[in-house]
Every structure is written in structure tokens, then in C-alpha cells.
A and B are shown apart, each in its own frame.
Chain A
Amino acid sequence: MIPSDLLYMVSHEWVRVTDQEALVGITDFAQCQLGDITFIELPSVGDAVEQGGEMGSIESVKAASELNSPVSGTVTEVNAELDGAPEKINQDPYGAGWMIRVRLSVPPQGLLSPEEYKAIAECNDE
């Protein structure tokens, strides 16, 4: 499941860019590989994030990993629904499981198209 209206990172984050804003989450492939997600650490509203830079971390019953920001800008909203209910990321990674909203400082460069990401996600799936 790789929505065609999103852009992607090699590290399995997705981003929906609209005008000066971006919504960020992790892909269905990522949540599937992680298994049951138990905890997520996100930046706070007002924090600056940088494309490719660490923006938080995610823990599952299997592993802990860093989250990387696919865009540069300032965090304007954090999905408060995930606080205490990180399983929403498993259930609906592209919807209720979104993580942060960012006001872009510069347009993101070099993100993967759905087709390009599909090749990676499938390759990793072996």
C-alpha cells in the first residue's frame, strides 16, 4: 500500500506537501516491519526540523529506530492522538497515524516518488 499522492524517504517516512505545509508519517511498510508500536517520541510545536535530520524516535516490540524528517521547516502541529495510542500508526499509517505538520522553510529536494519507493519497500521485503 503506497499512496500515489505522497513523497517518500529511503528511511520509510512519507510526506504530503501542500503549498507551504507538509504532513509527515511513516509508511505502511515501515509499521509492518516494526510490528506493534509501543512508543513514539516527536518534536514539539515550534521546533525546527531539517530534511534528513533526526526528528524523533519510534519503538516497537521488536526495535527502536530514529525518525528522520523528510522536510525542512518549523513544526506547527504534533498529532496528540498518538500520545498514549501509538497503535494508531499500525492501524492507519497514512491517516490517523500522521505524526507532525511542518511549515516549510525550503521546498524538499530529492524525495522518492511512489514508484521509486515501491522498488525499495519491495526490495527490503524479501
Chain B
Amino acid sequence: MPYIPHTPNEQRRMLDVVGIPDMDALFAEIPKTLRPKSFDLPEGLGEHEVMRHLETLADKNNTRLVGFLGAGFYDHAIPAAVDFLTSRGEFATAYTPYQPEASQGSLQAIFEYQTAVCRLLDMEYANASVYDGGTALYEAMMMAVRHTKRRKIVVDECVNPIYRRMLDCYTSNLHLEMIVVAHREGGSDLKALSAAVDTDTAAIIVQNPNFFGVLEDFTGLFTHARSQGALNIISVYPLMQAVLKTPGAMGADIATAEGQSLGLPLSFGGPYLGMMACAKALIRQMPGRIVGRTTDAQGRTGYVLTLQAREQHIRRQKATSNICSNQALCALRAIVFLCLMGPRGLANTATHCSELAHYAARRLLKLPGAKLLSQRPFANEFALVLPKPAYHVMDRLTRRGFLPGFPLGRYYPGLENVLLIACTEKNTREDIGILKELLGGAL
């Protein structure tokens, strides 16, 4: 069965209208060498055969691993109401509204989401979201480049290495000068970061908690960077913001986050949620949609897409970004999750995860040869130095149904023996006890 909706008859009529003899003539512009000789498509299957085939494939996944893997994405519990509310047809089937003001429900949900993001990150303005945490960080960096008209960026090596690769990739032809300041035993080198910022610097980019799980206070660094005319950009772990010093309190100009921890399931590459918030002075540089609340001619509350002149569909090639859309359904999950949890629920969860991680650290440090990479404070994640390569340990434990963490050697040469271990409220003290026994056996 061909997966083409047009009948041969319809194709013939279209070719006649265009005035060419056949399909080959339509594709004549494409060199023959680039055209596939044939398509290797199997014959169709019946419905039950398809189900059986897919189930067999799905069975190859192991979805029952006990996980201590974080490294930017965290396996938090998601209340059933999040799935229920966001799967309502009005939300789940709605595509980006091209007559946005006709979709008051979608706009209100986004407005509430923006409000929650501002409160959580302690910033003045938030957008309707972008694709993911890495995209958000790149867009924040480009906001700083446009705002300061400078081209030097200082990046802390403690920023998620995947995000740093995204920054490198996106900017490979933009002629920016990227200065990466090396970490010191898993902590930010605040002195070196400070020294790297000068009056040519557009922005300084840091992360809290950093990629190694270490908590930092960048207030002093931000004050110095501001004195040099640079913007302060910080990437954060949103769920932890309930108990940590906020980007706003540190004096950040732009805060970004991967919103996955707010009610989004872990999945291989997404869809995830890029959160962005900034100071008022930068609002016109912020990409993406922004929903505003206003009143109509009769004084009734209404929601609009505001400040659209920044955007691609109005400003064409001079737009602040090519992002004109947002992750509406993921943002909706985040706002439903935040509403269900409330400030106290979020803080309780953040505290509980941190307490578990500290318990795990205490237990695991009893293993011979194990020590913490950093002596600095951490929340729900920490880097544990082992006497053996972390990959080796991970291989052994994965076969026993445990995912012990993230081997840092992949992105940090010299840290091949270091395992990054995260705890969420889904882990138990029993899990941690077994993890310790299994790790002990593998060392």
C-alpha cells in the first residue's frame, strides 16, 4: 500500500497543470546520483501483527531499573492529575494557534505558566518557553550578545557539558569568543571566572546547582560582571529552586532552566521544556512568545500574544530569534504540576531529595577508596570518586537492575573514576542500601 494520498489520476492532473510529462521530470533538478534507486519497505502487516512486533521491540527496553541517574534530567514523581488534565482534548490536540487571541484557554494557561516561572526564579519576565534547557541557554547568550553588542562569552566548565556542546554548535559560525573556565574539584572557580570577565564580555554563564551537584552563590561574581557591563546568565534546576537562593536574589539578568523536573517524564531526547526569564530591561531581546493579560473594549479580561514585533512573523530576518513557537503542552504540564505541588509541596520534595542524597553520600563514603569529588555543599546530587573506572561499575550494576549514576569521564577527561549520583523522592533508603552493597561488590 503506497503511503501517498493522491491517486494516479490526481497525480496526472497535477502534472498536466504544471505542464510536465511525468514524475521523473518533476524531480529532474535533483541529480540522479542523489535519488534513491529503490525504497526498501517491507510489505504491510495486520493490526495485531504490528502490535506484536512493537511489543517485542518494547520488551527489549528495561524500564524497571532502579535509577540514580540525573545529570540534568531527574526522575521525579508525577501526580496522575498532570497526565489527566494535560491529555484533555482541548489542550492535547491544539496546535500553535495562528489566530492566538481566539484561543483564550491556551493563552491563559501560558500566562499562568509565565507567572509561575517568574515567581519560582524570582525574575521579572518569563516567556512562554522554548524547546529545552540547552536552547534556552543559547538564546540567553544571544540576548546578551545583542544587548551588549559584545562578542566574548565566559562559560563556567561546571555548566552542563551537553548545553556547552549546544552553545559551541550553534555559535560555530557566529565568530563569538568562548572562554571556558575550568572547574576546581567539581566547584566553580569563582576567582578565575571573575578574572576572565572584562569590558569586552557580553555575558558570564554559570549553573546552580552545577553539573557536579555543587551549590554555588554567584552573587559576588554577578556584581563584578555587572560592573564590567556584562550580563549574568544562570541555568538552574527548577524543582530545587523552591529551597535554593534564586537567580533573582543572586542578581542574574537572565535565568534559564530545563523544565523537565516539573512534571515531565524522562524520555530519550524530549520533548522537554526550555524555561527563560529575564530582567525587564531585556524583555525586547527575549525570543519566543510572551502572553500578556489585558482588557477588551468592554473591560473584560483577555489574553494576547504581546510584543510580537520581536518575532519572526512580524520582523522577518531582523527577528530576535527564529523561535516563534513554544512547548505549549510541556509548559502546561509544568504549570499543572506547580499548581498541584504548591510552594510548600515543592520545597518538601526538594528537601526530601536532598536529604536522601546526603544519606546516600554518607553510606557510599563507607566503601573502601570512595570519596567526594567536592567538599562543597550539594543538594540532591553529588560526584563520588571511586577506585575504579565509573563505566566499569555502571556496566556491572546495570546488569543487576541498578543504574548507579552518570560516569563523568565521558565529558571530563581525568574524571574517569567519578560517578555522578542523584536521588529523587522515587528512591528509597532500601534502594540506597542495595546500591551500596552492589557498588561494594563491583569495586
* Residues of chain A at the chain B interface (Cβ within 8 Å): 38-39, 41, 57, 59-60, 63-64, 66
- Tell me the bound Cα distance from A60 to B318 in angstroms: 15
B309 interface residue (CB < 8 Å to A): yes
User: Which residue on A lies nearest to B319, using beta carbons?
Assistant: A64
B314 interface residue (CB < 8 Å to A): yes
Give the 6 A-B residue pairs with the shortest CB-CB distance, closest first: A64-B309, A59-B309, A64-B315, A64-B314, A39-B284, A66-B318
Asked if residues B318 and A57 are in contact (CB atoms below 8 Å), the reply is yes
Interface string of B309-327 (1 = CB under 8 A from A): 1100011001000000000
Asked if residues A38 and B309 are in contact (CB atoms below 8 Å), the reply is yes
Residues 302-353 of B at the A interface (beta carbon under 8 Å): 309-310, 314-315, 318
Asked if residues A64 and B318 are in contact (CB atoms below 8 Å), the reply is yes
- Tell me the bound Cα distance from A66 to B310 in angstroms: 12
Asked if residues A63 and B318 are in contact (CB atoms below 8 Å), the reply is no
Asked if residues B309 and A39 are in contact (CB atoms below 8 Å), the reply is yes
- Tell me the bound Cα distance from A57 to B310 in angstroms: 11
User: Which residue on B lies nearest to A59, using beta carbons?
Assistant: B309
- Tell me the bound Cα distance from A66 to B319 in angstroms: 12
Residues of the A chain whose Cβ atoms lie less than 8 Å from the Cβ of B318: 57, 64, 66
Q: Is the interface of B mostly helix, strand, loop or mixed?
A: helix
List, sorted by A's number, 15 A–B pairs whose CB atoms are closer than 8 Å: A38-B309, A39-B284, A39-B309, A41-B284, A57-B318, A59-B309, A60-B309, A63-B309, A63-B314, A64-B309, A64-B310, A64-B314, A64-B315, A64-B318, A66-B318
Beyond contacts A57-B318, A63-B314, A64-B309: 12 other A-B pairs, Cβ-Cβ < 8 A, are A38-B309, A39-B284, A39-B309, A41-B284, A59-B309, A60-B309, A63-B309, A64-B310, A64-B314, A64-B315, A64-B318, A66-B318
- Tell me the bound Cα distance from A58 to B228 in angstroms: 28
Residues of the B chain whose Cβ atoms lie less than 8 Å from the Cβ of A60: 309
- Tell me the bound Cα distance from A66 to B315 in angstroms: 10
CB distance from B416 to the nearest CB of A (A): 49
- Tell me the bound Cα distance from A48 to B90 in angstroms: 53
- Tell me the bound Cα distance from A60 to B284 in angstroms: 13
- Tell me the bound Cα distance from A60 to B314 in angstroms: 11
CB distance from B80 to the nearest CB of A (A): 44
Residues of the B chain whose Cβ atoms lie less than 8 Å from the Cβ of A39: 284, 309
- Tell me the bound Cα distance from A85 to B221 in angstroms: 34
CB distance from A62 to the nearest CB of B (A): 9
- Tell me the bound Cα distance from A111 to B27 in angstroms: 50
User: Which residue on B lies nearest to A64, using beta carbons?
Assistant: B309
CB distance from B316 to the nearest CB of A (A): 9
- Tell me the bound Cα distance from A57 to B285 in angstroms: 13
- Tell me the bound Cα distance from A4 to B318 in angstroms: 34
User: Which residue on A lies nearest to B308, using beta carbons?
Assistant: A64
Most chain-B CB neighbours within 10 Å: which of A38, A57, A59, A60? A59
CB distance from B148 to the nearest CB of A (A): 11
CB distance from A55 to the nearest CB of B (A): 13
Residues of the A chain whose Cβ atoms lie less than 8 Å from the Cβ of B309: 38-39, 59-60, 63-64
- Tell me the bound Cα distance from A16 to B315 in angstroms: 29
- Tell me the bound Cα distance from A64 to B309 in angstroms: 6
